[in-house]
């Protein structure tokens, strides 16, 4: 019976696939405290602190937590159109009513743990009723380390899958407390309003070879696909598939320090418009200053081998890759400051390789008033087409989110959030600036 329950959990994750973040940045409204729940579903804004039911802990058995969020916001640019442009018959600014019913499930057993969620995102636009839509965010996280330990003592295996359908593709993953910056589709570039599907499947493995030496590996497979667009796009949109893979060794120098060496590779495909591949290596260092403060670093280089039908030269080039993240987590404060540089795909204008960089700062802070806590996120990103010179594609973006959440009861949260984004794009001698202001009041209830 225990195995059948665990198998059902695996099936649940496979079917659900996980949370996406198109609405998570603004529609957060409720929370279960600092740090979130049993797992950390990729893309969960502010570690789940602003989600009802996300802080539920289950040591054994199964629990389902339904919740609902309703919100009203002012949005200065619901079409994500560049300044100075308009779409006939549609208003750029609007008042938007949002309803998000959600179900979260948590299971813990002798073979592993599962956390999964599924939600529908319904929005009604007062000035542009034809823009009203129903999207979805679903997701799950599966930890089979207990099962893996029966085969390889000390092994850790974790898998997740993320899926989103929304007409509002995000530019940044605001509220990301992981510090990893691994998603190539949220590096700061802002698309116009367009029906968008994204999916990301990930598996991570750690297996001990000796008391201080571990074998590590990871695999990711994902895509972004585009449908109908209510607004005129400044350039062609490109469906993109990708996979990444890493393998390496991690050596514990002490209780506080771990160093690692890794092979990293990736494949990106634009279908008939070509593809490109990256291969290289990184050296990493993790420093645990205290149980609450950790610094992670990695630096290396990638050989970029493009086979594109458009864009820059097909010659192999070398590009830097790396990541630095400081993570702080205590009873009152959760803070992540991170910098990431890498090679990612261009999924608008033309198939190309981009050198992209992102700086982020995300914070969850408890106030002296026990029922009140604040959230804040700041992101800066920029990218340049590799090997294209001044005629290629580039962008510079920045944005911020700040808000307060009030615990009316342990299951009821009231939230007020403000967000601003600024995205400056350049292609073929033309510049496009997309700006957006949002103010939202939301109420969330868990049951």
Q: Please give the structure tokens belonging to residue 96.
A: 């938007």
Helix (H) or strand (E) holding 408: strand 394-409
The pLDDT-based confidence of 427 (bands split at 50, 70, 90) is: confident
pLDDT at residue 310 in the model: 55
Q: What pLDDT was estimated at residue 309?
A: 55
Of 36-40, 83-87, 124-128, 253-257, the poorest mean pLDDT is in 36-40
How many secondary structure helices (H) and strands (E) does the chain include?
A: 2, 18
Assigned CATH for 2-446: 2.40.160
- Rounded CA separation 303/317 (Å): 6
What are the backbone angles phi and psi of residue 130, rounded to the nearest 5°?
Answer: -70, -15
Provide mean pLDDT across the span 290-305.
Answer: 96
Contact 343, 315 (CB under 8 A): no
Q: Average pLDDT, stretch 78-100?
A: 93
- The label of the residue with tokens 């190539």 reads 184
Q: pLDDT by residue (tens digit) across 135-191? A: 999 999 999 999 999 999 999 999 999 999 999 999 998 899 888 877 889 999 999
Summarize pLDDT for 301-355 with one digit per residue, the tens. 999 988 765 555 567 899 999 999 999 999 999 999 999 999 999 988 888 899 9
pLDDT for 243 equals: 96
Q: Where are the domains of the chain?
A: 2-446
* For range 115-136, the mean pLDDT: 96
Q: Does the pLDDT value for residue 409 go beyond 80?
A: yes
> What secondary structure letter does DSSP report for 389?
G
CA distance 199 to 14: 12
Using the Cα atoms of residue 147, residue 149, residue 152 and residue 156 in order, give the sign of their dihedral. Answer: positive
Q: Check: CB of residue 40 under 8 Å from CB of residue 115.
A: no
Pairwise CA distance, residues 6 & 10, whole Å: 6
Structure-token pair, residue 186: 């949220």
CB 407 within 8 A of CB 31: yes
Distance CA 272, CA 250 (A): 39
As a whole-number percent, the residues of the chain with pLDDT over 90 amount to 71
Q: What is the pLDDT of residues 10-69, one digit of tens each?
A: 444 444 333 333 333 333 333 333 433 445 688 788 988 888 777 777 888 999 999 999
Q: Using the predicted structure, report yes or no on whether residue 240 has a pLDDT greater than 80.
A: yes
- In DSSP notation, 323-358 reads EEEEEEE-SSEEEEEEEEEEEEEE-BSS-EEEEEEE
Tens of pLDDT, residue by residue over 190-239, are: 999 999 999 999 999 999 999 999 999 999 999 999 998 887 787 889 99
pLDDT tens-digit readout, 246-290: 999 999 999 999 999 999 999 999 998 889 999 999 999 999 999
Query: CA-based diameter of the chain, in Å?
Result: 67
Local confidence band at 440 (pLDDT 50, 70, 90 cut-offs) = very high
Mean local confidence (pLDDT), 117-144: 96
As a whole number of angstroms, the distance between CA 34 and CA 46 comes to 8
């Amino acid at each position: 019976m225990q195995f059948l329950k665990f198998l059902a959990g695996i099936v649940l994750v496979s079917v659900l696939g996980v949370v996406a973040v198109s609405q998570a940045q603004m529609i957060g409204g409720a929370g279960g405290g600092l740090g979130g729940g049993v797992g950390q579903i990729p893309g969960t804004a502010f570690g789940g602190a602003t989600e009802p039911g996300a802080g539920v802990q289950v040591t054994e058995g199964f629990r389902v937590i339904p919740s609902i969020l309703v919100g009203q916001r002012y949005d200065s640019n619901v079409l994500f159109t560049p300044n100075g442009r308009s779409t006939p018959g549609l208003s750029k600014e609007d008042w938007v009513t949002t309803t998000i019913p959600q179900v979260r499930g948590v299971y813990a057993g002798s073979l592993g743990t599962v956390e999964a969620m599924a939600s529908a995102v319904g929005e009604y636009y007062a000035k542009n009723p034809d823009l009203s839509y129903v999207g979805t965010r679903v997701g799950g996280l599966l930890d089979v380390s207990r099962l893996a330990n029966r085969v390889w003592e000390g092994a850790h295996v974790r898998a997740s899958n993320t899926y989103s359908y929304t007409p509002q593709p995000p530019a940044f993953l605001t509220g990301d407390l992981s510090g990893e910056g691994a998603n190539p589709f949220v590096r700061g570039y802002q698309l116009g309003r367009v029906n968008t599907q994204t999916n990301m499947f990930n598996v991570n493995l750690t297996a001990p070879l000796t008391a201080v030496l571990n074998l590590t590996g990871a695999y990711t497979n994902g895509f972004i696909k585009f449908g109908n667009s209510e607004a005129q796009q400044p350039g062609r949109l490109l469906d993109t598939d990708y996979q990444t893979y890493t393998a390496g060794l991690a050596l514990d120098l002490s209780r506080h320090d771990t160093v690692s060496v890794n092979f990293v590779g990736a494949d990106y495909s634009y279908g008939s418009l070509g593809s490109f591949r990256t291969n290289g290596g990184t050296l990493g260092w993790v420093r645990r200053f205290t149980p609450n403060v950790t610094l992670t670093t990695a630096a290396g280089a990638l050989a970029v081998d493009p086979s594109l039908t458009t864009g820059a030269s097909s010659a192999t080039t070398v590009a830097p890759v790396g990541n630095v993240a400081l993570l702080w987590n205590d009873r009152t404060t959760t803070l992540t400051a991170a910098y990431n540089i890498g090679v990612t795909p261009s999924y608008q204008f033309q198939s190309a390789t981009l050198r992209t960089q992102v700086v982020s700062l995300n914070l969850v802070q408890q106030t002296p008033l026990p029922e009140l806590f604040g959230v804040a996120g700041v992101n800066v990103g920029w990218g340049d087409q590799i090997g294209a010179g001044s005629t290629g594609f580039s962008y510079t973006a920045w944005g911020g989110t700040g808000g307060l959440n009030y615990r009316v009861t342990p299951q009821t949260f009231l939230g007020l959030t403000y967000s601003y984004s600024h995205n400056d794009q350049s292609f073929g001698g033309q510049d496009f600036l997309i700006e957006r202001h949002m103010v939202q009041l939301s109420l969330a209830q868990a049951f």
